[in-house]
A = this chain, B = another copy of it.
Amino acid sequence: MPVNSPPLLPEQLLPINGITLGIAEAGIKKPDHKDLLVVVLNDGAKVAGIFTQNRFCAAPVVLAKEHLAQQSIRALVVNTGNANAGTGEAGLAHARTTCHTLAELLGYETQQVLPFSTGVIMESLPIDAIVKGLPKAVADLKADNWFNAAHAILTTDIVPKAASKQIQLNGQTITITGIAKGSGMIRPNMATMLGYVATDAVISQPLLQEIVKYAADHSFNRITVDGDTSTNDAFMLLATGRAGHVEITSQGSTEFAQLQQAITEVSAELAKMIVRDGEGATKFITVQVDDGGNSKECDKVAYAIAHSPLVKTAFFASDPNLGRILAAIGYAGIDDLNVNEVQLYLGDVLVAENGGAAPSYREEDGQRVMNQSDITVRVVLNRGTATTTVWTCDFSYDYVKINSDYRS
C-alpha cells in the first residue's frame, strides 16, 4: 500500500469555474474499468504544458504539442490502458481520430483538442473503443467531477492523486485543483506521466507557460521511482480566467509570485503522492543535498542516491547498510569531491564524516530511523551554498512483481 497516504475524499476537491469533466468505461484494456476522461474548457481559457524529453515520444504527445502551438484549446482527452507510443504513422492517425471525434461531439475544431494516452507501449490503440466511449464521457460532463477524473487516469497506481488549494489574490479567492497519475517509469524530465492542474486565475498564456515550467522543476521533475523516463509524460496547466481579478501580466508582480507559489505547492503535493504510490513502495525517502558548489552537483549526488538499487533495497530491508550511500555519493560524478569534508545524516543522526563513520554514530540510532516509513537522507557537501531536494521510494519485491506481471 502507498506510504503514509491518507485516503482522498471527494469533498477535498474544489471545482474550477469554467471546467467540466466527464469519464467513461471504454473497455480499452480491461472491461468495467474507467479508462477515458474528457476535460472541457471555457472559451478564452489559457493552456500551458511541458512534455516528455523521450525521443520515442508517443503519438498523442506529438499531436498535443502541435495543437497547443495554435492555442484556443477547448478540450483534453485522456485514455489509459494503451500509451499509443511506438506506434508509428498509424498511432498518429489514431490520435488525430480521437481529437476529431471529440471535436465533432463538442462542436469545436480538431486542433482545439489535446490528446493524452498512458499504458502499454508498442501496441495498437483500440480506436473503435475510444470512438464509442467518447459520447458516454461527454454525457457525463460536470464541474464537480474531479474525484472521478482522478480515478479514470490511473494505470498501475493504487490510489488516486489529487489536491485543491485556495489563495487570496487582490481580495479575490483563487482556486487551484490538480490531478496526476504515475507509479512506475518515473524519473525527472518529466516524472509525472500525466498531471493536470487547473485554476480560475486570470493570467496570460506566456506567463502561464513560465509557471508550468517553474512548478514542474520544483515538483514532478524532483521525483524518481525507477529512473525510467516515460514516452508519454505530460504536465498541463489550465487557467480559465474566471476568478474576476485583474489579469496578471507581469512576471515581477506580487500576484504572479503568489499564484506561482500556490500552483507549485499543489504540483509538489501531487508529485509526492506519485512517489508514495511508487510501484512496490514501502518507504518515502527525501534526499536533501546541502552546501554544494552549484545546484547541478547537488542534483548529481541526490539522484545517484535516489537511483541506486543497492541503496533502495537497503531501505526496503530497513537495514542501515549506509556505506552504500557513501558509495553512491562517491560515484555521483563530482570529480574533485573531497570525501573527508562530506557529512551524511540519516534523519537527525550524523552517520559519517571525515571519510568514515562518525565517532558518535551507533548502529541502533541508524536502525531507529531506518524503521520509519518516512525517512530523510541529508548529505552536506561543504563546498558552497547550493541545495537540492529529491523525493523517491525504496525498491521491493513488489516492484519486480508488478513489472513482471504488468501485461498479464
List residues of chain B with CB within 8 A of the CB of A329: 55-56
Tell yes or no: A129 within 8 A of B by CB: no
List residues of chain B with CB within 8 A of the CB of A406: 314, 319, 321
List residues of chain B with CB within 8 A of the CB of A326: 56, 85-86, 121-122, 231
List residues of chain B with CB within 8 A of the CB of A332: 55
List residues of chain B with CB within 8 A of the CB of A91: 355-356
* Cα-based distance from A235 to B308 in the complex (angstroms): 23
* Cα-based distance from A326 to B88 in the complex (angstroms): 12
List residues of chain B with CB within 8 A of the CB of A184: 310
Q: In residues 365-401 of chain A, which contact B (Cβ within 8 Å)? A: 395-397, 399-401
Interface membership of chain A positions 54-85, coded 1 if the CB is closer than 8 angstroms to chain B and 0 otherwise: 11110000000000000000000000000101
List residues of chain B with CB within 8 A of the CB of A335: 55
CB within 8 A of A313: which of B83, B396, B403? B403
* Cα-based distance from A356 to B399 in the complex (angstroms): 27
A408 CB, min distance to chain B CBs, angstroms: 7
**Contact A403/B122 with A55-B331, A55-B334, A339-B56 known, Cβ cut-off 8 Å:** no
List residues of chain B with CB within 8 A of the CB of A347: none
- Asked if residues A228 and B88 are in contact (CB atoms below 8 Å), the reply is no
- Asked if residues B54 and A309 are in contact (CB atoms below 8 Å), the reply is no
The residue among A228, A314, A405 with the most chain B CB atoms within 10 A of its own CB is A228
Tell yes or no: A251 within 8 A of B by CB: no
Of all chain B residues, the one with the shortest Cβ separation from A351 is B122
- 7 closest cross-chain pairs (CB), A and B: A121-B323, A56-B330, A88-B356, A122-B323, A317-B404, A313-B403, A229-B331
Of all chain B residues, the one with the shortest Cβ separation from A280 is B400
Tell yes or no: A357 within 8 A of B by CB: yes
- Asked if residues B331 and A228 are in contact (CB atoms below 8 Å), the reply is yes
Task: List 13 additional A-B contacts (Cβ < 8 Å) besides A55-B329, A229-B330.
Answer: A53-B331, A86-B357, A88-B340, A91-B355, A120-B321, A121-B321, A121-B323, A123-B357, A185-B327, A226-B310, A228-B310, A314-B404, A317-B404
List residues of chain B with CB within 8 A of the CB of A87: 355-357
The residue among A316, A321, A330 with the most chain B CB atoms within 10 A of its own CB is A330
A–B pairs, 22, beta carbons within 8 Å: A54-B331, A55-B329, A55-B334, A55-B339, A56-B326, A56-B331, A56-B355, A88-B356, A90-B356, A121-B323, A121-B324, A121-B326, A122-B322, A122-B323, A122-B357, A123-B357, A185-B310, A227-B309, A231-B327, A309-B399, A314-B403, A316-B404
A399 CB, min distance to chain B CBs, angstroms: 7
List residues of chain B with CB within 8 A of the CB of A309: 226-228, 309, 395, 399, 403
In the complex this chain forms, how many copies of it are found? 2
**Contact A404/B327 with A90-B356, A227-B307, A228-B308 known, Cβ cut-off 8 Å:** no
- Asked if residues B122 and A404 are in contact (CB atoms below 8 Å), the reply is no
Tell yes or no: A264 within 8 A of B by CB: no
Tell yes or no: A8 within 8 A of B by CB: no
CB within 8 A of A56: which of B56, B230, B327? B327
* Cα-based distance from A354 to B14 in the complex (angstroms): 44
- Asked if residues B88 and A316 are in contact (CB atoms below 8 Å), the reply is no
List residues of chain B with CB within 8 A of the CB of A230: 327
Interface membership of chain A positions 249-288, coded 1 if the CB is closer than 8 angstroms to chain B and 0 otherwise: 0000000000000000000000000000000000000000
